[in-house]
Amino acid sequence: MNPEVAATVDLDVHSIRADFPILNVQPYGQHLAYFDNAATTQKPQVVIDTLTQFYEQFNSNVHRGVHYLSQHATEAYEKSREIVRRFLNARSTAEIVFVRGTTEALNLLATTFGKLLQPGDEILISMMEHHSNLVPWQILAKEKELKLKYIPITETGELDLDAFERLLSDRTRVVSIVHASNSLGTVNPIEKIIELAHQNDIPVIIDGAQAVAHIAVDVQSLDADFYVFSGHKIYGPTGIGVLYGKELWLDRLPPYQAGGDMIKRVTLEETTYNVLPYKFEAGTPNIAGAVGLGVALEYVQNIGLSKIARYETQLLEYATRAVEEIPGLRIIGTANQKIGVLSFVMDYTHPHDIGTILDQAGVAIRAGHHCTQPVMDFFGVEGTARASFAVYNTPEEIDQMVKALWQVYQLFGQ
Amino acid sequence: MEPIRDLYQQVLLEHYKHPHNYGHLEHPTHQADGDNPLCGDHIHLELQVENDTIVDVKFSGMGCAISKASASIMTQAIKGKPVEEAKQLADLFYQIVKGETDVPEAPSSDLEELFIFSGVRDFPTRVKCATLAWHTLEDALKQS
Ligand SMILES: Cc1ncc(COP(=O)(O)O)c(C=O)c1O
């Protein structure tokens, strides 16, 4: 390993890599450097095995059967909810709702909050939101004649906190903010945001999709009203995610979808809803996915999030220094606090051409607007190339990427 | 040749850096917009058609090297051609990028550059970039 990075990190990346079978794939006969982790992370063997084992040994519906298998499936599903509770340090499992992912959680919140809002009420989000924390609010605002306001961002890609304070008004009903930006890497000061919003009695939703795999989250010490994330970005399966909500708020919100499991009693005239969290879990959930997510979270905790964060920060710093040498390359997102996301443009090459050239060198990155078009507009670019790091990446892989970026320069820049 | 050099040939790079027929026409008779949401490529195409012949053509927009070079080379290939012939060229081009036609030994010189896109067949995710201009041309010609 690169001595610069190795010297300071007590993390055995080679044994971690051995946990991820997909890292053995060799695109075009080359070593795979997978740097598209912000889109989705790879899965360790324990998670893959858990899914298989669930279908081989436990498969059954939950909360519905009196039989042996159903009891085991229900236990595994609820055990996973307890793992999530501990992971976020929530007060109770009643506050942990399983959903399909961040997008579903945010749609759930926009839709159900919407039922409590009046024309003229205001929703405050930021300019750096992922489309999934923007479009649902935009639709709601149109439908209910609400005002959607945006916290501006600065040239470094940080939130303008002074503007945030000015934008809070006595009509603001909810603030919804991304914890860490998927296109800039910026880690937002959500403690401060929550504190300021709470001084005005406004609830705060945090989109933790990019944060949870890199930053330890304690929803009680943050005092977040809602915190949502996707399993697949933290080494878990796709199709499963988490909506944490304070009990007080989940009680206040009406149900989202209706059907089985979310009811207590149904007559032809009316329905009484089930207790939390089941009120928000209509229909058969992604049981195997939930169980797999629990295992993924344990996997992360066994390594330790602070170790992971330290390691990834060093990868980011190493990569940042190396790409800064390349003429005409501009990094988009230079906040002080960043997760391992390196977004950049090269002024002579379109991001997709960079993506294709890197792909041929075995390096997987993302190119495009990353579902954050307002951010791209702000920086005056069509899109960026983005490398995003995870615990299994190595400095050698960064060298592999940087070498291919020099090839881009030779092809296009000279 | 390495596939990447085969894709990004010098001719393609030249057209990307210095596109031909880039800009706007005074009095276009036909125009259309094309988008490739995957790449965020956008092209605006303007044609001046007289007596079923494309007498002038210009394009504008943002895009990757492949889509921009393809647009530039397309405008060269169709300028001065009868509309019907331009449509046939579009079909030929789709065959080239899908690898459904072999590169002829000696393509006629004004069509030669179309064949540099035969390298795209090895990059399935980029075929849409190469064909964007031609699809936009077909859309523009549908207006009458
Ligand atoms: C910040 C952020 N929010 C929300 C999402 C949406 O997550 P999902 O597609 O898993 O629902 C993403 C994923 O791209 C993201 O990066």
Cα of B81 to nearest chain A Cα, Å = 31
Q: Which of A182, A366, A369 to mutate to test the pocket of ligand 1 (most atoms within 8 A of CB)?
A: A182
Chain B residues with beta carbon closer than 8 angstroms to that of A349: 65
pLDDT at A64 over 80: no
Closest CA of chain B from A77, distance in Å: 37
CB contact (8 A) between residue A356 and residue B7: yes
Q: Who wins on pLDDT, A5 or B97?
A: B97
Q: CA-CA distance, A250 to A262, in Å (whole number)?
A: 13
| For A412, nearest residue in chain B (alpha carbons) | B13
pLDDT score at A241: 98
pLDDT at residue B39 tops 80 = no
CA of A176 to the centre of ligand 1 (A): 14
Q: How many domains does chain B have?
A: 1
Residues 6+ positions from B26 with CB-CB distance below 8 Å: none
List A371, A374, A381, A407, catalytic entry: A371
Residues of A in contact with B126 (CB under 8 A): 352, 356
3-state SS record for chain B: CCHHHHHCCHHHHHHHHCCCCECCCCCCCEEEEEEECCCCEEEEEEEEEECCEEEEEEEEEECCHHHHHHHHHHHHHHCCCEHHHHHHHHHHHHHHHHCCCCCCCCCCCCCHHHHHHHHHHHCHHHHHHHHHHHHHHHHHHHCC
Task: Give the pLDDT score at A1.
Answer: 55
**Residue A356 forms contact with B (CB below 8 Å):** yes
Q: How far is the CA of A281 from the centre of ligand 1 (A)?
A: 20
Residues A370, B39: Cα–Cα separation, whole Å? 11
Which residues of chain A are within 8 Å of residue B13 when distances are taken between CB atoms? 411-412
Say if ligand 1 is within 6 A of residue A179 CB.
no
- pLDDT tens for residues A116-161? 999 999 999 999 999 999 999 999 999 999 999 999 999 999 999 9
- Beta strand pairing call for A366-368 and A363-364: unpaired
Mean pLDDT throughout A272-286? 94
Q: What is the percentage of chain A residues whose pLDDT exceeds 90?
A: 91
A371: annotated active-site residue? yes
CB distance A211 to ligand 1 below 6 Å: no
pLDDT for residue B1 is more than 70: no
* Ligand 1 pocket, residue A102 CB under 6 Å: yes
pLDDT at B47 over 90: yes
Model pTM score: 0.93
Q: What is the pLDDT of residue A6?
A: 55
User: Do B114 and B55 contact (CB within 8 A), yes or no?
Assistant: no
**Nearest beta carbon to residue B65 from set A353, A367, A383:** A353
Average pLDDT over every residue of A373-396: 95
The 3-class SS string of chain A reads CCHHHHCCCCCCHHHHHCCCHHHHCCHHHCCCEECECCCCCCCCHHHHHHHHHHHHHHCCCCCCCCCHHHHHHHHHHHHHHHHHHHHHCCCCHHHEEEECCHHHHHHHHHHHHHCCCCCCCEEEEECCCCHHHCHHHHHHHHHHCCEEEEECECCCCCECHHHHHHHCCCCEEEEEEECECCCCCEECCHHHHHHHHHHCCCCEEEECCCCCCCCCCCHHHHCCCEEEEEHHHHCCCCCCEEEEECHHHHHHCCCCCCCCCCEEEECCCCEEECCCCHHHCCCCCCHHHHHHHHHHHHHHHHHCHHHHHHHHHHHHHHHHHHHCCCCCEEEECCCCCECCEEEEEECCECHHHHHHHHHHCCEECEEECCCCHHHHHHHCCCCEEEEECCCCCCHHHHHHHHHHHHHHHHHHHC
What local confidence, expressed as pLDDT, does residue B37 receive? 78
Residue A264 has a pLDDT of 87
Question: Terminal CA-to-CA distance of chain B, rounded, Å?
Answer: 44
Predicted confidence (pLDDT) at residue B113 exceeds the cutoff of 60: yes
Pick the closest to residue B16 from A112, A350, A12, A414 (CA basis).
Answer: A350
Asked if A263 and A274 touch (Cβ cutoff 8 Å), the reply is yes
Taking an 8 Å cut-off on Cβ atoms, the answer to whether A412 and B3 are in contact is: no
CATH of the domain at B136: 3.90.1010.10
Residue B50: the pLDDT is: 96
Could you tell me the maximum CA-CA distance found in chain A, to the nearest angstrom?
A: 74
Q: Is the CB of A230 under 6 A from ligand 1?
A: yes
B37 to chain A: closest CA residue: A368
Placement of tokens 């998927």 in the chain: A182
Encoding tokens for residue B30?
A: 């036909």
Residue A387 pLDDT class (50, 70, 90 cuts)? very high
Domain boundaries, position B107: 3-141
Taking the C-alpha atoms of residue A377 and residue B74, their distance in angstroms, rounded to an integer, is 29
| A261, pLDDT greater than 90 | no
> Averaged over A261-286, what is the pLDDT?
91
Q: Please check whether residue A41 is in contact with residue A391, taking contact to mean a CB–CB distance below 8 angstroms.
A: no
Residue holding tokens 């075929």?
A: B127
Supply angle C-alpha B137, B139, B141, rounded to 5: 70
Q: What is the pLDDT of residue B119?
A: 87
pLDDT at position A121, please? 98
Q: What is the ipTM of this complex?
A: 0.88
Cα gap A236→A209, rounded to integer Å: 12
Contact between A19 and A46 (Cβ < 8 Å) = yes
Instruction: Label residue A367 exposed, middle or buried (CB < 10 Å: 0-12, 13-18, 19+).
Output: buried
A103 Cβ below 6 A of ligand 1 = yes
Query: What percent of chain A has pLDDT above 70?
Result: 98
Min mean pLDDT across A29-33, A52-56, A138-142, B140-144 is at B140-144
User: Going from the N-terminus, what domains does chain A have, and what CATH number goes with each?
Assistant: 3-36+304-413 (3.90.1150.10), 48-302 (3.40.640.10)
Whether residue A7 is predicted with pLDDT greater than 60 in this model: the reply is no
Instruction: Output the pLDDT for position B111.
Output: 80
A369 neighbourhood in chain B, CB within 8 Å? 40
Q: Pick the residue from chain A with its C-alpha nearest to B124.
A: A356
What's the mean pLDDT in A192-220?
98
What residues of chain A lie within 8 A of the CB of B40, using their CB? 368-369, 382-383
Q: What is the pLDDT of residue A2?
A: 60
Mean pLDDT value across residues A252-273: 89
pLDDT at residue A374 greater than cutoff 60: yes
Q: Are strands A33-34 and A363-364 parallel, antiparallel or unpaired?
A: parallel
Judged against a pLDDT cut of 90, whether residue A5 lies above it is answered with: no
pLDDT at B107: 64
Report how far ligand 1's centroid is from the alpha carbon of A130 (Å). 7
CA distance A157 to chain B (A): 22
Q: What is the mean pLDDT of residues A391-398?
A: 98
Which of B8, B62, B63 is facing A411, going by the closest CB pair?
Answer: B8
Give the lowest-confidence range in A129-143, A259-273, A305-319, A342-356: A259-273
What percentage of chain B exceeds 90 in pLDDT? 67
> What's the token pair of residue B91?
């079909």
Bridge partners, residue B115, by sequence: none
